[in-house]
Structure formats: C-alpha cells, structure tokens
Amino acid sequence: MTTEDPSLLASRLSVFPRLGLASLPTPLEPMRRLTAHLGGPRLWVKREDGTGLGFGGNKLRKLDYVLHEAIAAKADVLVSGGVVQSNSQRQVAAAAAKLGMECHLAVYHGRLAPPTPEYATSGNALLNRLFGAHFHDVPWTGNRNAAIEELGGRLREEGRRPYFVPYGVSNPLGAIAYASTIVEIAEQSRALGVRPAAIVHCTGSAGTQAGLVVGASLAMPETRIVGIDIDAEPERVRSDVVACARGAADLIGARFDESDVEVVAGHAGPAYGVPHAATIEAIKLAGALEALALDPVYSGKGLAGLIALIRARRWQPDMDVIFVHTGGAPALFAYQGVLGI
C-alpha cells in the first residue's frame, strides 16, 4: 500500500526557514495493546511529545518556524501567555532560554478553579520558573491574546524589543509549521505500508488542527483530520480553525475547504482544564497499555474522544487511525490529587 506523495507539501514548506529547535521527525509508533483492548481499528501514535526541548510538545514544532521571525527582527524578549499549567507557555519559556532571550508570560487566572493545591507551583509552573520566565498575573476575560499584546506594548514602551507569540502559537505561520507534521506522517505511513483513514488529535487554540487540515489537503487528501474539542467550546474552536487554516492555505497556495474542518464535541468534560471520568480512563489506559504519559487538559481528552469514536464504531477494525500525542506530561504532576493514580 502507498500513501499520497508528500513532496509538493514539503517543497512549499521549504521556503519558510526554521531554527532547528525541535528534534524532528518525531516517531510514528503502533499502539498494539490499546488496539487489542479496543478491538480495532489499528492504532498508531505520532509522538509529538518527543520534540525535545523543555519536555517537548506540539507547540515546539510551531515555534521552530515562528521564532525565526523573532530572530530576524532582532527581538530581545518573547511575550506570550496562557493559564498557570499552559504547555504552550512552557515551550515558549524553554525556547527563550535556549535562544538567550528573556521570556515574559501573561498568566491567566480565573479560567478554571485550581483543581489541586499543587496546581499553582508544580508541573509546567515549576518548569517555567526553572527556565527563567517572568510572570504577569492577569484576569481571564475570554480574549486569548489581548493581555499578551498589552504586555508586549508595555515592554516596548520600556525600550525593549518584544516579539509577540500568540496563545497556543496559533496563527497562520504556526499552522504552516504544523503542516510539516503531515509530511512526516505521509512518509512514515508509506514506509510502514499503511493508509491512515484518520488523524485524531485534541484541538483548542486552532493552530494545530489548521496545520493538519491544510497539510493533508496537499499530501494526504484521503485522510480525515478529526479534532477533539478540549475547550468545551466546539463552535468557537471550529471558527478559529477555519480562520487560521484559511490564512495558512493562502500563504502556501493550498486548497482549503471548510468542510474539511471537523471538530468533535462532547469529550471536554465540564470545562476546559477539568478532567472527567473518560479523561482519567484514557490516561490510565495509555499508561498501562502503551507506557504513554498523557496530560489531563489536552492529550488525555483527545484520546478519550478517540476511544469514544471507536466504541461508536466510526472505523472498521481493519482500518488505520493515527492519534497525535501533543505532549503535556508535566501537567500530570499538577493534577495528581484528582487523577486517582
């Protein structure tokens, strides 16, 4: 069996320079024990938790491209933001440390109630301090980027040269960067002799899904991209994915069809950042059967959605389905008290 030729996508991405922060390509591995447990389809995992720097994760792939702009602009400080246990903030802080730049983070409070006493100090929050980031506490208003932009403006008034990294590193350039994942998956699938029916992943800030959709339109048009909403805001998520994908497609001259954007609702639990029973089950299954460490905010909910779709018989047992492990294991330590592990 063969997959579609990824060379056209690779050629169009090659005009966008990257810094080499991420260890790429990431592996594509079979999940044989989870496949057997669920009775098929054949499951694979794309190990985006293995991108390397600062405990890795999917955002590092985006930063590899996006931060080339920061270097070219001679920025001296990276400005970004997220909640206390944001995986994106941790990867921005790690990249800043590696590049010798200051990192200032707008840390949103009020989006979710701290689920454990260790939430504020452990996991990603601990790593952000280790990587030397500076924190600016701000209230959550629902606008993901306003406080980050305001922080950048204050630093600019102080004579600094800030570079704005959007929430989740989700913008058209970040999406283009993440389309490189499709090049790898297409090449790895061809080498393994599989033809994926779907690529399933958690979706929230939109850039990851936008990149996968645009990349697949060029290199894997027969593979469905399925985003599992983890924000409990599926309409907002889908709208953001459509906008980001349209911008990315324009940049690389790709076809974009809004019908390619599928955001599956109903697996986010009661709210963003709050794990529910299905999330905890997915985390425990991934750990016990495949030695995978999934986080309770993103990848755990993504796998919970995939498991639900399998149990609803969306795919036949002889099909191949790829799950994107976006990383986030450090957050497990901040949620230990509610995971029952």
Measured distance CA(30)–CA(66) in Å, rounded: 31
φ, ψ (nearest 5 deg) of residue 93: -65, -40
Q: What is the largest CA-CA distance in the chain?
A: 60
Where do the H-state alpha helices sit in the chain?
7-13, 32-38, 58-72, 87-99, 123-130, 146-157, 172-192, 207-219, 234-252, 277-290, 299-311, 331-334, 336-339
Instruction: Give the residue among 320, 280, 48, 12 at the shortest CA–CA distance from 181.
Output: 48
Q: Is position 7 annotated as part of the catalytic site? A: no
CA 88 to mean position of chain CA atoms: 8
DSSP SS3 for 324: strand
Asked if residues 323 and 43 have their Cβ atoms less than 8 Å apart, the reply is: yes
| Dist CA 302 CA 228 (whole Å) | 5
Those residues whose C-beta lies under 8 Å from the C-beta of residue 78, and which sit 6 or more positions away, are: 67, 70, 92, 95, 96, 101, 102, 103, 104, 162, 163, 165
The 3-state DSSP class for residue 233 equals coil
CB 212 within 8 A of CB 178: yes
Q: Which of 80, 86, 170, 180 is catalytic?
A: 86
Q: How far is CA 151 from CA 66, 148, 254, in A?
A: 19, 5, 34
Spatial separation of the C-alpha atoms in residues 163 and 75, rounded to whole Å:
6
The angle formed by the CA atoms of residues 97, 179 and 15, to the nearest 5 degrees, is: 80
Q: Which residues are catalytic?
A: 86
